[in-house]
Amino acid sequence: MTLAGKRVLIWGIGRHGGGVAAAVHCVAAGARVTLLDRQPPAELGADGAEVIRQGWDWVVGDASHAVFRACDLVVPSPAIPPRAWPTRAPPAVSPEALFFAAHRGQRVAVSGTKGKSTTALLLGRLLGWEVGGNSNPPLLALLARHGAQVPLVCELSSFQLWYLRAHAPRFAAAVLTNLGADHLDWHGDLAHYHACKLPLAGWAGVCAVPDDLRPRLPAGALPLPPVRLDDGAFVASDGAVLARRDDLALIGAHNAANAAQALAVARALGVAVADLATRLRTAQALPHRLQEVHRVGGWRFIDDSIATNPAATSAALAAIDGPLAVILGGSDKGADFADLAATVATRGARPHLIGATAALLAEALAGQGIAAPRHGDLATAVTAAVANLPNGGTVLLSPACASLDQFRDFADRGERFAVAARGVRQG
């Protein structure tokens, strides 16, 4: 892909440095870059500061801005949905497509509705590879740092996969952790969301998928024999014991399922069985993913801010024993909360609601006979949740919603939860 001399527009800086990494890549290839975003760089934290340091041209606006039509090529943030594109637009290529055009090393891909970041982490530990993409460092940044031959675990969102649909990059292996409902505000409907995810299995030499997805795989996909958790051991289809459940520090049955898929891929790619358990033990919980952030008196506080859909929150509720208060709510992605409300009722969790979706969640919970209090901010919700557990228990932040109504992103939400939790005093 020739970029030298082209006028390239980086559309949307992104939340994980993807726009900056794309600009660096394009400039290194000889392009003249301009960045377009709805906010000025001074309001975009470290990424905006890097733009200012580099001295790149920046304009504030959207696709109606004149600069959009004065470029040769657009590199969009994957967060920009299809509906945001004008009918007539310059040629486009995503940051991920730029990466795959330049990368020459071995790679595996991970996607799914929930668990993809944790599964990518586990695969990185098992294979000894760097992890990039989605909520990890941008793939283009890893390419610049390590060169085109570096082997990588690539975590890919449904947004990124939609922009890659015409490129169909190849992978040694892929994982689809599961497939539920999410990001319907971006995709429009469930069929579009699933249609972005499923082709990934056909872009790989082999794939690890849950049993329910096997009938839905594209033609030519080669699913690996599953690894099962049997009597506390991860067991391959040929009977080989790959690791023990105790080798995995992450709580929850869903994380055991993630580990089983990662183990299946690692073994298929040649990692010795004798090494798997040792490598698995090096994996610790990622920030904001069922991460204990404080413990005082009889209470513990768990940050699962990454849970931005009902399925992820349901898995978190199942992973925690004992008395439980859960903080739910945030910005709306078009989710249906009926099943989550039933899970809350079955689990006996005590819900506390925040954010733009509080009314929708309250309605769903009322259908289960649960009156859930609403709170104006997260700190108030934490205080109320503690009071709701007078004899101790777990206060869980697992919102089932995005964070952009009240927070910069899910990490900001999790960090504020931790601050509020650490402010709780015994007695």
Mean pLDDT (whole number) for 278-285: 94
Is residue 237 assigned to a domain? yes
Q: Are 156 and 90 in contact (CB under 8 A)?
A: no
Q: Of 71-80, 84-93, 314-323, 370-379, which gets the smallest average pLDDT?
A: 84-93
Summarised one tens digit per residue, pLDDT across range 324-339 is 999 999 999 999 999 9
One domain, residues 246 and 335: no
pLDDT category, 305, cuts 50, 70, 90?
Answer: very high
Residue 248 has pLDDT above 90, yes or no: yes
With CA atoms as reference, report the closest residue to 111 among 158, 62, 55, 64.
Answer: 158
Kindly state whether residue 1 falls inside one of the protein's structural domains.
Answer: no
The mean pLDDT value of the chain amounts to 96
- Residue 75 belongs to domain with CATH number: 3.40.50.720
So what's the pLDDT on residue 427?
57
Greatest C-alpha distance within the chain: 67
Is there a single domain that holds both residue 86 and residue 172? Answer: no
The answer to the question of residue 285 being in a domain is no
How distant, in Å, are the alpha carbons of 68, 102, 190 from that of 95?
17, 11, 25
**237/302 same-domain check:** no
Decide if pLDDT at 141 tops 90: yes
For residues 37-48, average pLDDT = 90
Same domain, residue pair 61 and 164: no
**pLDDT (0 to 100) of residue 16:** 73
The enclosing domain of 414 has a CATH number of 3.90.190.20
pLDDT for the residue 69:
87
CA distances from 128 to 121, 131, 145, 150, 173 (A): 10, 10, 17, 11, 15
Count of domains for the chain: 3
First vs last C-alpha separation in the chain: 64
CATH number at residue 162: 3.40.1190.10
pLDDT digit string (tens) for 177-211?
A: 999 999 999 999 999 999 999 999 999 999 999 99
**Within-domain flag for 2:** no
**Same structural domain for residues 362 and 321?**
yes
Instruction: Report, as an integer, the average pLDDT of 262-275.
Output: 98
pTM of the model: 0.88
Q: Which domain holds residue 225?
A: 98-280
pLDDT tens by residue, 90-124: 999 999 999 999 999 999 999 999 999 999 999 99
Same domain, yes or no: 316 and 399: yes
Domain boundary among 242, 260, 280: 280
Q: Which of 93, 111, 132 is the last residue of a domain?
A: 93
Q: What is the mean pLDDT of residues 338-353?
A: 98
**Cα distance between residue 15 and residue 33, in whole Å:** 19
How confident is residue 256, by pLDDT bands cut at 50, 70 and 90? very high
The reply to whether 273 and 309 lie within a common domain is no
Indicate if 261 and 306 belong to the same structural domain.
Answer: no
Q: Is residue 286 included in any domain, yes or no? A: no
Q: What are phi and psi of 266, to 5 degrees?
A: -60, -40
pLDDT of residue 314: 96
- C-alpha 159/C-alpha 82 separation (Å) is 9
> In terms of Cα–Cα distance, which of 407, 398, 354 is closest to 380?
354
- CA torsion sign for 21, 83, 67, 58 is negative
Among 93, 123, 154, identify where a domain stops: 93
Residues 70/75/79/81 CA torsion (nearest 10 deg): 60
Q: 274, 131 in Cβ contact below 8 A?
A: no
Distance (Å) of CA 311 to CA 154, 195, 201, 338, 423? 23, 19, 22, 11, 30
Q: Looking at the domain assignment, is residue 147 inside a domain?
A: yes
pLDDT value, residue 337: 98
pLDDT at 285 over 90: no
**Any domain includes 427:** no
User: Distance between CA atoms of 198 and 95, rounded to whole angstroms?
Assistant: 21
- Within a domain: 46: yes
